[in-house]
Amino acid sequence: MLEIIAIIISLFFAMNIGASGAAATMGVAYGSGAIKRMKVALIICSIGVLAGAVLGGGEVVKTIGSGIIPSSILTSKLVIIILLSATCSLFIANLMGIPLSTSEVTVGAVVGVGVAYQVLFIKSLFTIMVFWVIVPFTAFILTWLLAKGLYGLEKRGWAFNHTWIGYVLILAGFLEAFSAGMNNVANAVGPLVGAGMLKAAPAVWLGGAFVAVGALLLGAKVVETNGKKITRFSKPEGILISSVGAGLVITSSIFGLPVPLVQVTSSSIIGLGTARNGREVIQSDIVKKIVKIWIVSPLVSLSISYFLVKLLVDYDIYSIIIPVSVMIATIGALSLMKAIRKEKRAVHEDGGGI
């Protein structure tokens, strides 16, 4: 019964991955007009995600399932806790309007179990965290360099308004969806494979199919928002963003490294903005937001996972009293600081006290 529950949660998680992160890969192609119909964009995304999962998702599945903690400790209960922790983290983030990385929250949830049992593969975890910094930074540098070259060509009179540019952009979006399938499907099915509930091959097929279904049925709003409501990119700019992200995520997936596609894409956008508008883009609030998300994403799911293990598996209430107290104290301190800043602004603007 517990195995069935774990598989259901895994597939629900996979659909949410498709509806958010995977669907976003076709936003630029749709927003720029390269793809006219929403349905076509979602179908291309679904095919790309499924192909990526089936053809190249196995290595990241191994990392999530047995590369961070020993697969021997994974039971049905622990798999449910890992998947619930990651899903709850994403759900809370969606309510708050914060874009979290599915890779980061999944790794965080697995680490939470490892911390509870003190069985982490530290070297493997350190490698993953290092690449969480290296890959977005590389995306920034590559996009900045390529964008500088693009704008240089445009100043010399090169025109990039040919029909084939649109097809190249669609291909870049497809490759980004392919990379999402390679990297993100593992977040949903990796724990199942690690616990021996499913073999790797059928797991990636099943997970890929549900990510694809999630993108197809629930991804329209994300594609619309990313493509037309946040910012507009020209077709060549869209090609740079999608192709750099796809290339880096595919390369990471080949080596079994789960990386944050959200941060990679955001870093590419910042690199393009820096090439176009100068260094002030780096000092903007979006960079601070990305850093905060990078830190908060895994810690939230790690905390939830750890607490659930102690409560539901070890029945050890005392060991979580101090962490919960620290969390409550932190939230209270942040709320108090916000109130003090608000009070100071009121005094400054109104010229009086409370």
Same domain, 228 and 300: yes
Tokens 């980061």 found at: 104
**Cβ atoms within 10 Å of 282's Cβ, excluding its own:** 13
Q: Indicate whether 249 and 338 sit together in one domain.
A: no
Same domain assignment for residues 152 and 46: yes
Residues 132, 155, single domain; the answer is yes
DSSP for 69-103, please give it. S-GGG--HHHHHHHHHHHHHHHHHHHHHT----HH
- Model confidence at 226: pLDDT above 70: no
Are residue 138 and residue 273 in the same domain, yes or no?
A: yes
The answer to whether residues 222 and 260 belong to one domain is yes
The count of other CB atoms within 10 Å of the CB of residue 223 is 24
Number of domains, the chain? 2
Half-sphere exposure (CA, 13 Å, Cβ side) for 300? 22
Structural domain that includes position 342: 317-354
Question: The pTM is what?
Answer: 0.84
Do 94 and 105 lie in one domain? The reply is yes
Residue 183 has pLDDT above 90, yes or no: yes
Q: Where residue 82 falls among pLDDT bands split at 50, 70, 90? A: very high
Q: Is the pLDDT of residue 353 over 50?
A: no
| Across 100-109, 188-197, 259-268, 324-333, least confident range | 324-333
Q: Is the pLDDT of residue 295 over 90?
A: no
